[in-house]
Amino acid sequence: MTVITANTPDSSALAPSSPGREWWRSAVIYQVYPRSFADADGDGMGDLPGITHRLPALRDLGVDAVWLSPFQTSPQRDAGYDVADYRDVDRLFGTLADFDTMLTTAHELGLRVIIDIVPNHSSSDHRWFQEALAAGPGSPERARYLFRDGKGEHGELPPNNWESIFGGAAWTRVDEADGNPGQWYLHLFDKSQPDFDWTNPWVREQFRDILRFWLDRGVDGFRVDVAHGMIKEAGLPDYTPPEHAGSMGGGAGSVALEPGIEGHAGDEPPTPPYFAQDGVHEIYRDWHRVLEEYEGDRVLCGEAWVEPLEKLAHWVRPDEMQQTFNFGYLETPWEAAALRTVIDRSISVFGSVGAPSTWVLSNHDVVRHATRLALTGENLQGHGIGPKTTGLPDPVFALHRARAATALMLALPGSAYLYQGEELGLPEAIDLPDDARQDPTWFRTNGERYGRDGCRVPIPWEGTDPSYGFGPSAKSWLPQPASWATYTRSSQEGVPGSTLTMYQEALAARRAHDLAFGELDWFDLGPDTLAFRSGGVTVVANFGERLVELPAGDIVLASGELEGRSLPRDTTAWLV
């Protein structure tokens, strides 16, 4: 094994891990969405210098690592998840030198850095795709992507019936060099995001190089986009998803925990021919070996919308990825029994392959949990919400519940992901004007699905007027709601009971009591409650109307106000 010393002079500030205590087994990882975190140059778009400037706030929050959504060169048709150069920084966000400064600063502050890698597809602007278009049918360049002849007498019909995750057909026909309509290419997402053909060794070699490019710069790992895609079933057979499947391929709103056992609704969904194919695992074994060429504990975290959990656990077998997002947990409603089931199953299923469970409630693709957990209408994953959505919650009630959910999540063993702004209690921005929306989902469905813009609005730092300290100007690429003055970081700093303070207290207590390595010992406090002991801490969450008498102990965390020693509805408390 070649050991390469990383280009991180200050990585020594980060404690070395020992086997079984690798940093990613316990880390709380904060997702930075670069467009919306901090804008240093005032153009209304967040950037790398902005992130560098604000990193101390994340150290003060108490997280262990940051994950950056894509900042690489891109025409931004899917907010950077359409990469046109995997080895450079988009000018919108800065330069490679800005990236290096950000990384060094993070390491000096004791924060590890994970970056996004987008291997299922590139941008159609990528040189590789442009060369494929120019080279024509049957060429090695076309073999990088999934080009096929169409069906019908003149190839006028798409090669199969697959639909794009963002709505509409998953195939687009190209014009050949002679000006006539020719082959079709597959794009599981927008038509500007052609899927690679991962059976092609050339593609595999390119991505090994891309991983090494960033590992050489010193990144601590990768969040792997669409880690359940990449390999498609041979022959690309037709497929019709079940009626209530969420966009990402899972049965959103129905967590099948193991074959035959339902989380709260629905049967195990069928496996689409474009997701969760066995062949993807060979790729991750290969990537695991690439990471092993480097010193330190580098990590791969898969974004794999796969059910049931038993199947998802294949992504984190010892020679594959280190972590995978637990979307089954994210999709579980705020219900005691359903949560207990998904928590137990996650710990046991991930544990059976030697991996930590991960926990997540929000990210840039889902309705923020400070709104989502209190929605009363149906809301399929990826469809988003907007002014015409029915069943919208009261924001105060919803935040109260979200804080209880966070306090429960941060007590669980394993690693947790936070999404920027949740520590401020930010709700989903619901009233975005139609003409401000940018998610391709909105355009591809002619406004039928709102998409994900509502969770991507630039976050408020300080002040009473837009951009609330996001940048030096009033500009922000999505408009910030007027009500966001009350959510700024500066207005919550040091304020007892603020959401920011609760997150800081929870993260500090989680660390002090080593909860990431705790073992849950459940006990019964009656219906509509969850209660367990872990790492010397007693955790109680109340889901029902009835006040719950807290057991003996000093209260170290409460997600909301208590009534004496009684825990009200939608509140979580920790005691020692």
Q: Which is nearer to ligand BGC, 280 or 539 (CB)?
A: 280
Which residues are bridge partners to 534 per DSSP? 537
Which residue's CB is nearer to ligand BGC, number 81 or number 484?
81
Residues written for the chain = 576
Tokens representing 242? 């079940």
* Site size with ligand BGC, rule: CB under 6 A: 9
CB 10 → ligand BGC: shortest distance, Å? 30
Alpha helix segments (H runs only) across 218-354: 280-292, 309-312, 327-330, 336-351
Q: How far apart are CA 250 and CA 268, in angstroms?
A: 9
* Interaction of residue 500 with ligand BGC, rule CB under 6 A: no
Structure tokens at 230: 């990449």
Binding mask 189-208 for ligand BGC (x = CB under 6 A): x-------------------
In the complex, the smallest distance separating the C-beta of residue 514 from ligand BGC, rounded to whole angstroms, is: 31
Q: Which of 195, 220, 303, 428 binds ligand BGC (CB under 6 A)?
A: 303
CA distance linking residue 275 with residue 165, whole number of Å: 11
Q: Which is nearer to ligand BGC, 117 or 530 (CB)?
A: 117
* Among residues 118, 211, 321, 409, the one that binds ligand BGC under rule CB under 6 A: 118
Cβ-based nearer residue to ligand BGC, 321 or 506: 321
Beta strands in 242-401 (DSSP E): 256-258, 261-262, 299-302, 323-324, 358-360
Q: Percent helix, strand and coil across the chain, each rounded to 5? A: 30, 15, 55
Distance CA 324, CA 358 (A): 7
Q: Which is nearer to ligand BGC, 77 or 107 (by Cβ)?
A: 77
Q: Which residues pair with 416 in a beta bridge?
A: 28, 359
Q: How far is the CB of 441 from ligand BGC (least distance, A)?
A: 8
Compute the distance between CA of residue 17 and CA of residue 20 in angstroms, rounded to an integer.
8
249 to 288: interface string for ligand BGC, x by CB under 6 A: ----------------------------------------
Smallest distance, Å, CB 363 to ligand BGC? Answer: 7
Instruction: Give the strand pairing for 529-534 and 537-542.
Output: antiparallel
Question: Least separation, in Å, of the C-beta of 114 and ligand BGC?
Answer: 14
Let me know: does 115 contact 219? Beta carbons within 8 Å.
yes
Examine residue 78 and tell whether it contacts ligand BGC (CB under 6 A).
yes
The binder of ligand BGC chosen from 30, 67, 81, 86 (CB under 6 A): 81
CA dihedral 527, 394, 247, 543 (to 10 degrees): -10
490 sits in which H/E element: helix 489-492
Coil vs helix vs strand at 54: helix
Q: Shortest distance, CB of residue 78 to ligand BGC, whole angstroms?
A: 5
Check residue 231 for interaction with ligand BGC (CB under 6 A).
no
Tokens 């300080």 sit on residue: 462
453 near ligand BGC, judged by CB under 6 A = no
Q: How far is the CB of 144 from ligand BGC (least distance, A)?
A: 17
Tokens coding 71: 């900042």
Q: Exposed/middle/buried for 554, CB within 10 Å: 0-12, 13-18, 19+?
A: exposed
* H or E stretch at 370: helix 369-372
Closer to ligand BGC by CB, 366 or 541: give it.
366
Neighbours of 496 (CB within 10 A): 7
What would the x/- binding string for ligand BGC be over residues 307 to 346, using CB under 6 A? Answer: ----------------------------------------
Minimal CB distance residue for ligand BGC:
81
Indicate which single residue of 365, 428, 453, 505 sits in contact with ligand BGC (rule: CB under 6 A): 365
CA distance 372 to 454: 12
Task: Determine, following the binding rule CB under 6 A, whether residue 567 of this chain makes contact with ligand BGC.
Answer: no
Residue 194 or 560 with smaller CB distance to ligand BGC? 194
Q: Which of 6, 65, 103, 226 binds ligand BGC (CB under 6 A)?
A: 226
Restricting to residues 161-190, name those near ligand BGC by CB under 6 A: 189
Residues with catalytic function = 225, 293
Q: Specify the amino acid at residue 400.
A: H
Q: How far is the CB of 376 from ligand BGC (least distance, A)?
A: 26
Of 488, 485, 478, 489, the C-alpha closest to 455 is: 478
Of residues 345 and 456, the one with the C-beta less far from ligand BGC = 456
The SS3 call for residue 261 is strand
Instruction: List interacting residues with ligand BGC (CB under 6 A).
Output: 78, 81, 118, 189, 225-226, 303, 364-365
